[in-house]
A and B are shown apart, each in its own frame.
Chain A
């Protein structure tokens, strides 16, 4: 069986997954995409090959996905991140019916039917609200890093409401909450719920069906995961490395195309 690779060039990070002939992950890699997507893809593939102890000629097929998918010169073909996230989530969580992917600069909710096919989806790629970028701006306003922000959620005694949907206005709102003397943890909890609110609206459009998988970099923020769980009233399934779900899906489709 052939060794294949999936490469997901997202707006913030590029992810590569290499699968062996049995569909097992041999290696993966995550790097910042920067401004040169083709270079990021080449570098990420190289990193993943090195980790797996493989050479480029060992890979039979590379499938590209993500917003920069058309920039991957090594890719044999490309598929949208919507289909790839569905396939990746299905592989990791066979009972999945809904995927919520929050990436660097977009968020999407995907309804999944039998066999892991996409039934429907909604995307927010028009504004930063409810994306990783929103979280980064808010972390900067709070003067904490993203990891710490996730932990702060659980220290909150009095969750505040951050009502602004716009990232710029929300940042001003956070600063004014500080000025009013509110605790950092309470503001962080309010920010997590602001993202959750945005995602819940998208889940409502697609239709909530359990099991719900959360993928993308924001799934590493335990506070946001918890806020979404509270609002959805369901437990989210999060992969050990949620950022590579799309690349994993791409690799699975690659294995079917060899």
Chain B
């Protein structure tokens, strides 16, 4: 008889929305209170937070717009303003928001942000340069570009770590001091890191419940819980949130409640690439009826997977180490070898049956070599994978039937291999 799968929703995740809404509401009204505002891409927003600025993070805003369903209307304004539909949808989203305000085009008021006093462009990809340049050219935003090179191998890490650390010390911090008219607040940065460490340690305990068979929660649950280790960092509410989440997951384990009713998942999946912020529900509705759950992924694992390495006593050094230290695989997991190493570890740790390689049409940073990655990992671990094309927020890049066919084919490949065993 065919099993009717359905998701067992967590209660704690309902508590994230008020925290997130407050963050964005504070940001929207910051200028009215005479507060300074920064925007950031890459790992630079912590410096703004340390200076008491309200700060918006590029991907965080996109996730928020996806969550409140404002992505489409803002992207349409960008198109109207001449932004190419093939360019990064995060970039377009920001340009669309700025153009909507400048041209008086009505959009969801929750999606409107004040233009920043400083935009720190941590350049992880060429598109971020265009994003920063666009903000400066079109809206007169002051931009501070910094380079965040991707390592090829671990041998590159010490050199790049020093390069990035010096940018933090010699360029980023002095610029924030100039913009804010006060010395950099190292104590506040230490405090933010102390809270982040506590939150991420709790989060890592929660990750352990992905290892349960059946799993107690899904990557999508974690996706909506990312903010406390992301743009809500330094907010003690994150500690309370993850304490509650951990407790709920422990209760699920004690009562043997799976993430997927009635008896747990049939397929345990890995997710590569960005999370499809505007389409989390759409994908969930394709996974769950098939008894599939996504349990881990490269992008969600980039949020400080080794909190034990955070050293609040040496905040700037520690911040550089988190991204480029030899022990942290945060940027290394974007390198060709690091990708293979990390996914391999996740396959083993979380007993993964199949790989879903999400290939964003407008941001290719994580798409490179995905076919080769599938091939190498299949040979090593015997786990099949498929490439699913789409976008983080742009629905023009998402095709239901194409996603459906690829996912169903993945499940059939897993079934075929199980039968052969």
Contacts and interface: CB of A to CB of B under 8 A. Distances in A.
A82 B405 contact: yes
Contacts of B389: 126
Nearest to A126: B389
A119 interface: yes
A83 B406 CA distance: 11
A118 B409 contact: yes
Contacts of A207: 375
Interface in A66-122: 67, 79-83, 114-115, 117-122
B53 interface: no
A123 B389 CA distance: 11
B405 A67 contact: yes
Q: Max chain A CB contacts within 10 Å: which of B374, B401, B406, B416?
A: B416
Q: Max chain B CB contacts within 10 Å: which of A114, A119, A207?
A: A119
Given A114-B420, A205-B371, A120 B384 contact: yes
Contacts of B387: 122
A79 B412 contact: yes
A125 interface: yes
Contacts, number: 53
A122 B372 CA distance: 12
Contacts of A119: 378, 384, 413
B240 interface: no
Given A67-B401, A119-B384, A83 B412 contact: yes
Contacts of A80: 405, 408-409, 412
Q: Max chain B CB contacts within 10 Å: which of A67, A80, A119?
A: A80
Interface residues of A, number: 19
Contacts of A115: 416, 420
Contacts of A126: 389, 399, 402
A117 B405 contact: no
A41 B390 CA distance: 30
B410 to A, nearest CB: 9
Contacts of B385: 120
Contact of A122 (B371, B399, B413, B419): B371
A255 to B, nearest CB: 16
**Main SS of the interface on chain A?**
mixed
B402 A125 contact: yes
Q: Max chain A CB contacts within 10 Å: which of B371, B378, B387, B417?
A: B371
Contact of B375 (A82, A83, A117, A120): A120
Nearest to A110: B409
Interface string A118-135: 111111011000000000
A44 to B, nearest CB: 20
Nearest to B416: A117
Contacts of A123: 402, 405-406
B385 to A, nearest CB: 8
A82 B410 CA distance: 10
Contacts of B412: 79-80, 82-83, 118
A151 to B, nearest CB: 34
Contacts of B378: 119-120
A5 B182 CA distance: 78
A144 B419 CA distance: 48
A120 B374 contact: yes
Contact of A83 (B374, B386, B402, B409): B409
Interface in B364-421: 371, 374-375, 378, 384-387, 389, 399, 401-402, 405-406, 408-409, 412-413, 416-417, 419-420
Given A80-B408, A120-B375, A123-B406, 4 more contacts: A114-B420, A119-B384, A120-B378, A120-B413
27 contacts: A67-B401, A67-B405, A79-B408, A80-B409, A80-B412, A82-B405, A82-B409, A83-B409, A83-B413, A114-B420, A117-B413, A117-B419, A118-B384, A118-B409, A119-B413, A120-B374, A120-B378, A120-B384, A120-B385, A121-B386, A121-B409, A122-B387, A123-B406, A125-B405, A126-B389, A126-B402, A207-B375
